[in-house]
């Protein structure tokens, strides 16, 4: 079974959780909708092309290996916006047009936004029968994207190349392990690369051959319904914890 595996590392990333009031939270690992958006940007899809985004959503099973959750950064955010009365019947195509109103018609909205600092994950795609793109084509698009890639928000640029690799493996877990081996081999040749942290857990959807038994299933509201309207639905996300190796002192005592 073919897999497309790539890394997501950045000084800042933000993986949206359901927004309540003025609070904009983040998960510690990429959402399904974020992966779909990333692929769409790499391919050069227009945001209004709903059918193409749905095809990406339904064409691949997605698994995520959490390497490091990073640390939480909370930002108190202010933004200027025109009054609703001023916008009524006069939609703006860009943020610049939105702000081209008299100053007395501008108000301020407040929000609290969360980010993850120095987080790192691996993503694996398993093609389904109706996959719209071959994995090799997606890998090339991630290497030379049509649009700028970012990790959740426009201010969250990748901190390292995504280094996409097409890997033949029996499961996502084996594909992640093979990716780590390839990465380490490349790192030995290019000493400027930092080693990958060990995998802490993997999460996967119903359409993935994971290779590890699930320890927990949760509901996550990150299933893209309408990209233009920012509408998301629930999906099942399965979690498999990766047991860590015992410390050397413990091994010595047991032997």
Name the DSSP letter for residue 20.
Answer: B
Tell me what percent of the chain is helix, strand and coil, each rounded to the nearest 5: 25, 35, 40
* Per-residue pLDDT at 223: 78
The model carries a pTM of: 0.83
- Taking the CA atoms of residue 247, residue 249, residue 254 and residue 255 in that order, the dihedral angle to the nearest 10 degrees is 110
The domains of the chain are located at 2-68+115-243
User: What pLDDT does residue 228 have?
Assistant: 64
Q: What is the pLDDT, as a whole number, of residue 253?
A: 37
Residue 253 CA to residue 255 CA, distance in Å, equals 6
Q: What is the mean pLDDT of each run of 10 residues along the chain (255 residues)?
A: 96 82 78 92 91 92 95 83 70 72 76 89 96 97 96 91 96 97 90 83 94 91 71 86 60 38
Q: Does domain 2-68+115-243 have CATH number 3.40.50.12280?
A: no
Phi, psi dihedral angles at 99 (to 5 degrees) = -90, 0
pLDDT at site 251: 40
* Extended beta strands in 128-230, E state: 165-168, 201-204, 216-226
pLDDT in the model for residue 192: 61
What is the predicted pLDDT for the residue at 250? 40
Tokens of 12: 């800042």
Query: What confidence score (pLDDT) does residue 247 get?
Result: 46
């Amino acid at each position: 079974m073919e897999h497309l595996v790539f890394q997501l590392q950045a000084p800042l990333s933000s993986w949206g959780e359901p927004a309540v009031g003025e609070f904009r939270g983040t998960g510690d690992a990429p959402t399904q909708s974020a992966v779909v958006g990333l692929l769409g940007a790499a391919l050069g899809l227009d945001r209004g092309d709903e059918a193409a985004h749905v095809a990406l959503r339904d064409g691949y099973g997605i698994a995520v290996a959490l390497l490091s959750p990073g640390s939480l950064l909370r930002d108190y955010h202010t933004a200027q916006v025109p009054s609703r009365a001023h916008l009524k019947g006069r939609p703006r195509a860009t943020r610049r047009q939105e702000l081209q109103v008299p100053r007395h018609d501008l108000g301020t909205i407040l929000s609290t936004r969360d980010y993850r600092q120095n987080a790192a994950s691996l993503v694996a795609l398993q093609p389904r029968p109706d996959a719209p793109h071959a994995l090799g084509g997606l890998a090339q698009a991630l290497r030379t994207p049509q649009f700028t890639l970012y990790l959740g928000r426009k201010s969250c640029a990748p901190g390292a190349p995504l280094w996409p690799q097409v890997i033949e493996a029996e499961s996502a877990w084996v594909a992640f392990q093979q990716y780590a081996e390839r990465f380490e081999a490349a790192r030995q040749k290019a000493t400027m690369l930092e080693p990958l942290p060990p995998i802490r857990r993997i999460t996967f959807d119903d359409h993935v051959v994971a290779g590890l038994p699930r320890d927990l299933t949760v509901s996550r509201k990150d299933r893209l319904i309408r990209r233009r309207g920012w509408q998301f639905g629930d999906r099942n996300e399965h979690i498999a914890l990766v047991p860590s190796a015992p410390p050397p002192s413990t091994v010595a005592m047991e032997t």
